[in-house]
Chains A and B, each alone.
Chain A
Amino acid sequence: MSSDLENPMLLIGWWVSAVLFLAAAVPVVYRIVRGPTVFDRIVALDLFAGICLGIIVALAIRFDQPVFLEVAFVIALVGFLGTVALARYLERGGER
């Protein structure tokens, strides 16, 4: 891997948080697949975008790339717009 972190504290923190993020993705995907209504699925997808944002920020720290923070900001923006647009669409009908 390029640009290895020399600090063992940071490396341990990175691995622990990576495992926690993976563990967080599992129940969210379950809710996306099984959610009884569309609304449950969208809430789970919104949280999934949040988890992706966290993973990207953690990767920015891991590989010393501050550019990834801009990516995280764009994901936050798109996630918000998508949630509000879907809510407005489903409020007026659309599928259940």
Chain B
Amino acid sequence: MNILVAILMVLGALFCLIAAIGVFRMPDLYMRMHTATKAGAFGGSLLALAAAFHFGTPRAGIMAVLIIVFFYLTAPIAAQVFGVAAYRRGVPLWEDSEIDELRDAVDPSDSGKAEPSDK
């Protein structure tokens, strides 16, 4: 059991490191978000799992499940809201990107203008 906890802990830290390297190396904002949300959430989930195995009590298990479920419910929402906001403000894509499916959906003429009242 201790070996399992140690392996899960090291794996979780490794995924956090992978996410950090991705945020450092990737060429544009959207790819950085890709590594930060996916690998970061997976690393945190592995650590929560390690804590659940280590303590072995219902309380720690419930907290670990809560953390994991919360991660996987909120990370896609945050990334989606954030990506659309960045696209509306005109953050450029990597110059070698080939597909830009948002180009037709987002009107570039109203980018970056603060609106006086809520729609």
- B32–chain A nearest beta-carbon distance, Å: 5
Give chain B's interface residue range (CB within 8 Å of chain A).
35 or more
Name B114's contact: one of A12, A37, A72, A92 (CB within 8 Å). Answer: A92
Give per-residue flags for B62-77: 1 if the beta carbon is below 8 A from chain A beta carbons, else 0.
0110110011001101
Inter-subunit contact A24/B19 (CB<8 Å) = yes
**In A34-61, which residues have CB < 8 Å from any B CB?**
37, 39-40, 42-44, 46-47, 50-51, 53-54, 57-58, 60-61
* Interface majority SS (helix, strand, loop, mixed), chain A: helix
CA distance A13 to B46 in the complex (A): 13
Most A CB atoms within 10 A — which of B12, B59, B70, B85?
B85
Q: Is the CB of A20 within 8 A of B89?
A: no
Can you name 23 A-B residue pairings with CB atoms under 8 Å?
A9-B3, A10-B6, A13-B9, A14-B6, A20-B17, A21-B16, A25-B20, A26-B20, A27-B23, A28-B24, A47-B23, A51-B40, A57-B47, A66-B59, A66-B63, A70-B63, A76-B70, A83-B81, A84-B77, A87-B81, A90-B89, A93-B113, A96-B89
Q: Which residues in B have some Cβ–Cβ distance to A below 8 Å?
A: 2-3, 5-7, 9-10, 12-14, 16-17, 19-21, 23-25, 29, 32-33, 36-37, 40-41, 43-44, 47-48, 50-51, 54-55, 57, 59-60, 63-64, 66-67, 70-71, 74-75, 77-78, 81-82, 84-86, 88-89, 91, 112-115
